[in-house]
Every structure is written in structure tokens, then in C-alpha cells.
Structure 1
Amino acid sequence: MTVRAFFEAAKVEGVQSPYDTIHLKILYPAQIPDQLEKGRVIEPANPEKAPFPVVIFFNGYNCDAQQYQWLAVKLAERGLVVVLFNWITENLPGVISLTPGVDFEKMKPTIYPTAPTALALPALLTKLEQLQNQGVLAGMLDLQRIILGGHSAGGLVSLTNADPRFFPGVVASFSYGASSRGLLIIGYEPGTILPLPDSLPLLLMGGTRDGFMLTSSELYDVSPGDATLPVARTFQEAIAGGRNDSYLVILEGANHFSIVDEPDSTTVTPSLDLKATQSQEDLRLLMSEIIGLFIDTYVRHQPEASQELEQLLNSANPLIKSFERK
């Protein structure tokens, strides 16, 4: 399926200019006509799989949205619309950075989990409503089937906001390299694992070579023991389960940046990560297949996808160290 993209911008209420603007890239399944209409610069959407469920992806800190385009393309090829975005703002005091928009005030022990923690999400949802009414995707979006996904801090945003109390259109969530450990600097006790909303299908993924899970221990005053423990503890302690639609997948040889196309060594510190011991390309292909089948199973309710997902996770694949479901 052909994938095309266009750009948009959205304002975040309550943030001072010039740091109140989000820049979006929206990828969608396109239909390329035999003869493109003269003067048209955006190809029409392919209506075959419309209305399209929408994936909103939250990047890690200082990870450009373009670094996740490989995943967005793979998901759009399956018939999804995918929103990537860049937001440069002062999310941490005194630090201007690319951010997924964690609301640290709402993450504090006195507030969490009674309020949403995604600063950018309301603006993104408003923009999607506008796109549903005009433009190349008009009438083709299924805003009652929104999936939140993310990497690192963006993964935490996707998991903590997969809550229909706050965002009724959100129906599932996935993450890579994310845990719900409570930060010491906002008031949590050492070793705290924050509870996650537990009413929607969740997919948590981590890698055995995730050095950031090891080197970030000073932020939480706890030694993780190994690179997978924070993600595993999140799955074990933050989710009650009981519906068999929550998954933990540990990828053998994957590091913190296995999900990005190429980490930017000028804005992040790849040296803090461990070296991946498996092909990054093979790991990304596997990630996209797991995520795609997870969405096809629990959002699009395709019975064959459920069988394929189970077969994939239960196969003797050297890239899959372990998986759990509850």
C-alpha cells in the first residue's frame, strides 16, 4: 500500500509563545490516481480500509519524530493513519528540548492518577477533529479508535494516558523502552512503580541491552539489576490484568534506541546505552509486526491477527527472549 504524508501545526493552550506550537507529520494510506489532478500536491487517501484507526506516537526526549518514520510507514501500510510530532518547549525547568510532553505536575504523588499527564494530547486530538472535517482525510478517520504509542518517556505518556475517563476515543496503547518508575525529584519513594490505567489493551516492549534502564537508576534511587527489570516490574506491578489483552515482550539483544532509525548523537547520549547484539533492522521489523498484529487483534478485531500474534510470540525466534500475557 502506498503511503503519503502531509504536515500540520497545532497550538498548546497555556504554554507561552514561541514554545506553544507542535509540528505534526500525518502519514496515511494513499491512492495514486493514473493522472494526478493538475495543481494537486497531496494525493487522495485510499478509501479501501477507511475509516482509519489513528496511531498517535510520542517520541522520546530529544528524539526527532523523523527517527520513527520507519514504524509510521509500516503501520500506515496496514491501513492506519499515524501522527508523528515534534514539540520544542521547556518541559523540564530551564531545559528547552524536543519533548513528548510529560505533565510532571500531574505526575506528582498528590495528583497522579486522577488527571491526564499528556500535555500535547488535547491539541493533537483537536487537530484530528479538524482533519476529519476538511482536507484529504475528511470523513475517513475513526476517532473512536485511537491508539497511543511511544518510546522511552513518550512510552510512559502513551501508557499513563490510555484511560477512557480522560480520552474516550483511546482504545489501546503500546510502548518500547518505558517503565512507570516514580521519579524521586517529584516526590516518589525509591523503587516506586506507578499504577497504569488497566481498562484497555496494553503492549509493553523492552530490550535486554537497554542501557538507559541501567544508567537512569539515580533518578529513581534503585538499582534495576538488569536492563529489563523496570519494564518487567511495570508489567507485573502496574497492571492487574485478567483479560489476556496486556502483553510484555522482551527482545533479545535490543537496546534503548533499537526503535529509532538512527539516534542523534548531538542531542542524546548513545554512549549511555549498551551495544545491540542483534541486527537493528531485524529488531525493527519484528517490532512493527508485533505492534501491527496487536492493533489488528484488539482494535480492528481481526481473528486471524490474533492467531498470527500468538504464533509469532510463541515461535522459537532468537529475537524474542520472553513474552508474558495477562
Structure 2
Amino acid sequence: MNVKAIFQAATVEDASPPYNNIHLKVFYPAQMSGSELEQNRGTVAADSQRSPLKVVILFNGFNCGPEQYQWLAIKLAAHGLVVVTFSWIAENFPGMVALTPGVDIKMMAPSMYGKAPTASALPTLLQALERLQAEGVLAGLLDLEHIILGGHSAGGKVAIESAKPEFCSQVVAAFAYGAHTAAGEALGYASGTILPLPDSLPLLLIGGTCDGVIANSSHRYGVTWEQPTTPIIRTFQEAIAGGRGDSYLLLLEGANHFSFSYPFDSTTARPFLDFPATQPEEQLRNLIAEIIKLFIDAHVFSQATAIAALNQMLLAKNSLIATFERK
């Protein structure tokens, strides 16, 4: 299937210039037609036969460019989804200007957590999707009642914390890589605190056994993690009750914090804290994409074959999988 992308810009209403602009790259399954518009402007129609197109919003990690998630966006769009990546430079933390997934710090405080989304970019992104539904190559083709939130690192954290129907009725599932809900002592939490998740929608938590960024950031939470995956495991065990059979924990053997991002960028974020990956990176990415597609097919599209495939993977032995659990 052909995959194409379009660009959009949006203004964050409650942000101050110059940090009030978000730039989107929206990937979609396309249908080449040979039209004059296609030939002259490169505007390629969406594959209307795949509509209505469900939407995935990908939240990047801090200082991780959206192009590092294009590999996944293309795979998901080829699978028949619309995928939104975005770039937002802002000052989420005082004195720290960064490429951000959008973190609402005030909603992370002990007195406020759980009362509203922590993903501060979400309202603006939803408004941008409404405009795409109204005009352009995706007009009338989007299923805006079935939106999946996903992300990496801090972007994964805000994705899973914001996946609650009461916050946004359009969100139906969430996934995250290299993310957890351990609470920082600087925000006023006791050491080792794991914050609860909404626990009302299908959830997929993915992590790597060689995640050096998580391992070397434990001091923020007043503890020393027993292993790099400890806060992810604890998030799965403590932050959600489960019981519906649609919450998953996948730990990848030999994957590190940046196994989710490609191509590797050594100039930004904190890759110097990471441990080396010990498994082939392309194989890890292919498995990540396959699991995410199965998760969406099973719990958003309600495909019985995908549920069966996930059940089989829970039981099968795979050298790239250290742990795969469901509850």
C-alpha cells in the first residue's frame, strides 16, 4: 500500500509566543490516481476504500524529533490507519526549552493528578484533526470516534495517563514504549510512588530489558530500580487493576530506551545514559510494530483473528520477548 503524508500547523490557545505553534505530519494510506493535482502538486488522494480511517496520535519523547517515529507511522499507515506525529518546541519546565510531547506540569501535582489529561498538546491535536476532516485529502474519511494514543518515554507517559473517556470520549486505546508512572520526588511525592492510570481502556505497555535511560534516572524517584524494567513492571502491576483481558505488558529482550526511535540521533535527548541494545534493532522494531498492529486490530477493530494471534504470542517462545503478560 502507498503511504503519503501531509503537513499542518496549529496554534496552542493557552500557550505564549513563540512557543504556541505545533507542526504536524499526518501519514495516511494513499491511492495513486495519476491526476493533474497529483502530478503538479504531489497531492495524493487517500484510499477511500479504507475509510473511515481510525487515527493514532504519536507523542514523542523529550527532544526526540518526530522523524524518529516515521518508521512506525509508515507501518501503521500501510496497515490502514492515519498517524499523526508532531513537533512542538516549548518551555514545559522553567528554563528548559525543548522539543516536547506536551506535558501539563500542573496536572502532575499530587492535588491535581488524575483530574485531567497530562497531555497538553491533545486538545490542539484534536482540533487539527477536525479541520482535516472538514477539508483536504482526508476530508470526510476520518473516524474521529476511534482515536488511539501512543508514545515514547515522556510522550508514552502522557499518552497512557490521558487515555480516559471522561477526558476525551474519542480515545479508545493507548500504548507506550519506555514509559511508566513513577512519580518524581520534586513534585512532592514519596519515594517509589507509582501513580494510578485511568484503567478504563485497552492498554499496551512496552519496554526493553536494556533501558539505560530508565535505569540511570531512578534517583528522580528516590529509589534505585532493581532492573531497568522495574518501574514499567510496577506500573503494569500497580497502576491498573486489569480484569478485562485487554491490558498487556511486553518486555523486549535486549531492547534499550531508543529501540523505539529510528534513525538514532546522538545529538539530543539523553542517549548517553542508555545501555547498548543486544538484539538486532530492525528485528526489535518489526516486532514492536507487529504487536501494536495486533493490539489495535484486536481491541479497536475487534478482530477475532487478531485476538487469537495475540493469545498465541502470549504462549509462544520468542528470543526477542523476555515477558509478555495480559490481565
Q: Answer whether TM exceeds 0.5 for this pair.
A: yes
Counterpart-to-counterpart distance in 1, 2:148 and 2:137: 21
Instruction: Tell me if structure 2 keeps the 8 A contact 1:58–1:151.
Output: yes
Instruction: Tell me if structure 1 keeps the 8 A contact 2:117–2:158.
Output: no
Letter in 1 for 2:61: G
Instruction: Tell me if structure 2 keeps the 8 A contact 1:63–1:263.
Output: no
Query: Could you give the per-residue CA deviations for residues 37-73 of structure 1, whole angstroms, max 9, x where no partner exists?
Result: 4534310000121101100000000000000000000
Letter in 2 for 1:100: P
Higher alpha-carbon deviation: 236-245 or 313-322: 313-322
**What corresponds to 2:12 in structure 1?**
12
**What corresponds to 1:101 in structure 2?**
102
Shift of 1:36: 4.6
User: Normalized against structure 1, the TM-score is what?
Assistant: 0.98
**What corresponds to 1:254 in structure 2?**
255
Q: CA RMSD in A?
A: 1.0
Query: Could you give the per-residue CA deviations for residues 220-275 of structure 1, whole angstroms, max 9, x where no partner exists?
Result: 11111101111000000000001000000000000000000033221123221010
**What corresponds to 2:68 in structure 1?**
67
Shift of 1:5: 0.1
Shift of 1:35: 4.5
Query: Deviation above 6 Å: which 4+ runs of structure 1?
Result: none
**What corresponds to 2:206 in structure 1?**
205
**What corresponds to 1:307 in structure 2?**
308
**What corresponds to 1:163 in structure 2?**
164
Change (3 A) 1:320 1:36: farther
Instruction: Tell me if structure 2 keeps the 8 A contact 1:106–1:115.
Output: yes
Letter in 1 for 2:23: H
Matched, 1:196 2:201: no
Instruction: Tell me if structure 1 keeps the 8 A contact 2:58–2:85.
Output: yes
Residue 19 of structure 1 aligns to a residue whose secondary structure is: coil
Counterpart-to-counterpart distance in 1, 2:199 and 2:216: 29
Counterpart-to-counterpart distance in 2, 1:137 and 1:125: 14
**What corresponds to 1:324 in structure 2?**
325
Instruction: Tell me if structure 1 keeps the 8 A contact 2:183–2:195.
Output: yes
Instruction: Tell me if structure 1 keeps the 8 A contact 2:22–2:88.
Output: yes
Instruction: Tell me if structure 2 keeps the 8 A contact 1:63–1:268.
Output: yes
Query: What runs of 5+ residues in structure 2 fail to find an aligned partner?
Result: none
Letter in 2 for 1:111: M
Counterpart-to-counterpart distance in 2, 1:255 and 1:42: 38
Letter in 1 for 2:48: P
Query: 1:75-154, aligned counterparts within 5 Å?
Result: 75-154=76-155
Residue 253 of structure 1 aligns to a residue whose secondary structure is: coil
Counterpart-to-counterpart distance in 1, 2:121 and 2:153: 16
Q: Percent identity?
A: 57
**What corresponds to 1:231 in structure 2?**
232
Counterpart-to-counterpart distance in 2, 1:271 and 1:198: 33
Instruction: Tell me if structure 2 keeps the 8 A contact 1:313–1:320.
Output: no
Counterpart-to-counterpart distance in 2, 1:23 and 1:77: 22
**What corresponds to 2:215 in structure 1?**
214
Counterpart-to-counterpart distance in 1, 2:258 and 2:141: 33
Shift of 1:313: 3.4
Letter in 1 for 2:150: G
Matched, 1:2 2:2: yes
Letter in 1 for 2:239: A
**What corresponds to 2:284 in structure 1?**
283
Instruction: Tell me if structure 2 keeps the 8 A contact 1:183–1:219.
Output: yes
